[in-house]
Amino acid sequence: LGALPFCSPVLPGFCTFCLDFSPNNVLLSEKTADSFLKRHKRENTGRFEEFLPGNLERECIEEKCNLEEAREIFENDEKTMAFWSRYVDGNQCASSPCLNQGSCKDHLGYYICTCVSGFTGTNCEIVLQKRCDVNNGDCKHFCGTIGNFGAKCFCATGYELMSDGVSCEATVEFPCGKTGLTVVKPVIRSFYNPGLSDHLNATSPTNMTLTAPQTPFKRIVGGRSAAPGEIPWQVGLIAKPSGEHNTQITEGREQDYEVLEKHAHPRYNATLNTYNHDIALLYLKDPISFSAMVRPICIGPMAFIEALMKQPSPATVSGWGRTRFLGFTSNILQKIEVPFIDQTECKKSSNERITPVMFCAGFYNVAKDACQGDSGGPHAKSYRDTWFLTGIVSWGEECAKEGKYGVYTRVSVYYSWIKYVMSVTKRRLASDVEYPDS
């Protein structure tokens, strides 16, 4: 080659360098040679590999490793499998296959998505519908099941469902279940009913101001007098006008209506049982004029009313009945709060037959109860600021007697029949509605 220098071609993965193969430069010093090409020694050079701790780069990157070798590196089954699933078939979670904020966990040959609440499916792609048996599907009024799973909210008459799919907004001036009164808490706490402010609407600009009485009125077996307009759906079937509060005084709020038709339940038979299917509907000659003092109460589907009736919060029962057994009736509308009683306990407490269309409410040894003259009155409960009819005062063994409860007609059972009879186009008794055996 003489004195001509020679340059090596550029090889993939190697440095480009030039060597001068002149007679005086055939051999390079060790230091100069290392500066051109330097290779790191392998870890196992001159040593036995099995005596060294596992090394990821040595075992699985520079060379192909097996599962046992990977286990030696991580010394933990969970970490080993997490690495092995990616090492063998790649990270299948890299493409973020889990939708709707689901979390992905990679496995060997597959992945698993853990879905957040409200979603399901392999990739959390299925949106679960509401479930009526879970918090009423978050519905403000009613929840109806759709198909095998899923649900949809709907509202009582006089309301419409809002865009959020759960709220109900009134579409009429005097919607059912609203009192339209504002409570002003009295200074004397001993007569303040803490449940009252929860039940009454304090937002309407046309509300009246109501102050709870600071001195107790004549009581209905442990109850107290209702404030005017507090129970605007109460009607006294005592040949007196509707809207009545004090039966002895003409207050100017009374309304007088003639009953055009009466519809007893088709299965009511006083000969067999005076109180079974103890319910009737009255069709008035003229429509009632609603106001702050006269408003309807809401009714609802069987499942909703049944669940509401059994909730631990007490129901409100009202009427002008006797204030004690065989005592005098009250001039002022009275009210009490009573809890629902389990059906087994209800049956055990009575000498009379308790049928499936009846339920008990009241106290075992507290003198609070409905009494004679209250029959036909409402057993009502508030749900999310709207009142619903859950029962009708029916009968009892004396009044507020220890170990005895008040017995009420189970309104939930009669929802279909009530809606049928109230139909403007049909207005005739339903004969094809099924009811529980009695």
Domain membership flag for residue 100: no
Q: Are residues 260 and 409 in the same domain?
A: yes
Q: Are residues 236 and 160 in the same domain?
A: no
pLDDT tens-digit series, residues 290-310: 998 899 999 999 999 999 999
What pLDDT sits at residue 169?
96
Domain membership flag for residue 45: no
What pLDDT sits at residue 116?
84
What pLDDT sits at residue 35?
56
Q: Are residues 363 and 252 in the same domain?
A: yes
Task: Report the interhelical angle of 302-310 vs 415-422 (nearest 10°).
Answer: 130
pLDDT tens-digit series, residues 378-390: 999 999 999 999 9
- Has residue 421 got a pLDDT over 80? yes
Q: Are residues 221 and 157 in the same domain?
A: no
Domain membership flag for residue 318: yes
Q: Are residues 148 and 244 in the same domain?
A: no
**Lowest-pLDDT range of 32-41, 95-104, 148-157:** 32-41
Hey, what long-range contacts does 348-352 have (CB within 8 A, 24 or more apart)? 349/403, 349/404, 349/405, 350/397, 350/404, 350/405, 350/407, 351/397, 352/397
Range of the domain at 402: 217-422
Angstrom distance (rounded) from CA 94 to CA 103: 12
Domain holding 156: CATH number? 2.10.25.10
Angstrom distance (rounded) from CA 337 to CA 317: 6
- Has residue 357 got a pLDDT over 70? yes
- Has residue 394 got a pLDDT over 70? yes
435 φ/ψ angles, rounded to the nearest 5 degrees:
-135, 160
Q: Are residues 166 and 244 in the same domain?
A: no
Q: Are residues 32 and 162 in the same domain?
A: no
What pLDDT sits at residue 4?
47
304, two tokens: 């909703």
Q: Are residues 382 and 318 in the same domain?
A: yes
What pLDDT sits at residue 239?
58
Residue 181 burial (C-beta neighbours within 10 Å; 0-12, 13-18, 19+): buried
Domain holding 380: CATH number? 2.40.10.10
The last residue of a domain, from among 170, 197, 226 = 170
> 60: which DSSP letter?
I
The pTM score is: 0.61
> 10: which DSSP letter?
P
391 neighbors 408 (Cβ within 8 angstroms)? yes
Q: Are residues 21 and 134 in the same domain?
A: no
431, two tokens: 């004969």
Structural domains in the chain (count)? 3
92 neighbors 105 (Cβ within 8 angstroms)? no
> 252: which DSSP letter?
S
**Lowest-pLDDT range of 75-89, 207-221, 404-418:** 207-221
Residue with tokens 């399901």: 120
**Adjacent-strand bridge partners of 407:** 360, 395
DSSP string covering 254-268:
-B---EEEEEE-TT-
Mean pLDDT confidence for 2-9: 46
pLDDT tens-digit series, residues 332-354: 788 889 999 999 999 999 989 99
Residue whose C-alpha is closest to residue 237's, from 222, 258, 220: 258
**Lowest-pLDDT range of 276-290, 307-321, 423-437:** 423-437
- Has residue 280 got a pLDDT over 70? yes
**Most confident among 161-175, 215-229, 390-404 (mean pLDDT):** 161-175
Domain membership flag for residue 76: no
- Has residue 242 got a pLDDT over 90? no
Per-residue buried b or exposed e for 323-347, using 16+ beta carbons within 10 Å of the residue's own CB: bbeebebbebbbbbbbebbeeeebe
The pLDDT confidence band at residue 173, using thresholds 50, 70 and 90, is: very high
The last residue of a domain, from among 138, 170, 202 = 170
What is the pLDDT of the chain when averaged over all its residues?
74
